[in-house]
Amino acid sequence: MRFVDTIDGLNDVFETDIPKNSVVLVTGSAGTLKSGFTFQLLSNYLEEQDEYGLYITFEQSKENHLLNMESMGMKLSNKLHISDFSDYRVMYDEFSDDLMNILEENIIQFKEHIGDKCTCIAIDSLGALYSLLDNDAHDLRKKMYKFLETLRREKLTTFLILEEENKSDMSDPSTGMEGYLADGIIELGLHLKGNVANRYMRVRKMRATAHSMEPWILAVSENGLKVYKGNF
């Protein structure tokens, strides 16, 4: 199975698959299904592969995260390990300078434990991680560059969830430094037309991949998410 075969209709958006070992930013405002999109993509992919992955959550506890996913018809693959870092938002407030190193060590240790069959990770979310760090923009960019290069050297396909509070429609293309560091950007948003609101997804960039750049409707079905062509 390819990454783009994990969500119904996503393979219509992509002609070729998301490249292995790349860093993909999944971005959008609150309520645009960023966590659900990333979780379903990884869980469904791993369920059909002889591979394993790590989903790190800073936003919610593991229990609350899984309840939310189950409410949308998604199932957890036993090959996707959920690492609950939500307590770090309290525990490591006074040790924020060490948190990036702690996170990196956690990932490396998991990879060493699983071996080469550990192929992908997700971090949910960068905003929650940043809230624990006491760095200016320049230092943060340097730390993120080093962190992402480490993940690339470990041959991990990485999905980073980033909430953009000011992003509300397709007319706003804003993304910060993360967009420059990432190999791909998948944008999720909410499109308003009259009294009708539709969630959408579009691929803003994906290196070494052929894909549509148009918006596609993203909806919740009985069996998880689905993507289909809409009239915007």
Can you read off the two tokens belonging to residue 159? 């999905």
Q: Does 212 sit behind a cis peptide bond, omega within 30 degrees of 0 on the bond before it?
A: no
What pLDDT is stored for residue 97 in this prediction? 61
Q: How confident is the model at residue 194 (pLDDT cuts 50, 70, 90)?
A: confident
Instruction: Determine how many CB atoms are found less than 10 A away from the CB of residue 174.
Output: 9
Q: How many CA atoms lie within 13 A of 85 on its CB side?
A: 25
Mean pLDDT of 19-47: 97
Can you tell me the mean pLDDT for 59-63?
90
DSSP state of 60: S
C-alpha to C-alpha distance for 203 and 212, rounded to whole angstroms: 7
The answer to whether the CB of 58 falls within 8 A of the CB of 125 is yes
Non-local CB neighbours of 216 within 8 Å, separated by 6+ positions: 9, 12, 13, 200, 201, 202, 227, 228, 229, 230
Chain Cα centroid distance, residue 97: 24
pLDDT of residue 62: 92
Mean pLDDT for the chain overall: 91
How crowded is the C-beta side of 136, counted as CA atoms within 13 Å? 1
Q: How far is CA 50 from CA 20, 58, 210, 217, in A?
A: 15, 27, 26, 31
The residues with which 122 forms a beta bridge, in sequence order, are 55, 159
Confidence of residue 172 (pLDDT cuts 50, 70, 90): low
- Provide the whole-model pTM: 0.94
pLDDT of 96 over the 60 cut: no
Q: What is the mean pLDDT of residues 177-181?
A: 89
- Write down the pLDDT at residue 176: 80
**Confidence label for 164 from pLDDT (cuts 50, 70 and 90):** confident
Q: How many residues does the chain have?
A: 232
pLDDT at 36: 98
pLDDT over 90 (residue 6): yes
Instruction: Report pLDDT for 91.
Output: 60
> What domains sit in the chain, N to C, each tagged with a CATH number?
19-189 (3.40.50.300)
Sequence-ordered strand ranges (E) for the chain:
23-28, 52-57, 80-84, 118-124, 157-163, 184-193, 196-206, 216-221, 224-228
How far apart (Å, rounded) are the C-alpha atoms in residues 185 and 160?
9
pLDDT band at residue 230 under the 50/70/90 scheme: confident
Among 1-10, 52-61, 90-99, 122-131, the range with the most confident prediction by mean pLDDT is 1-10
The confidence score (pLDDT) of residue 95 equals: 53
pLDDT at 224 over 60: yes
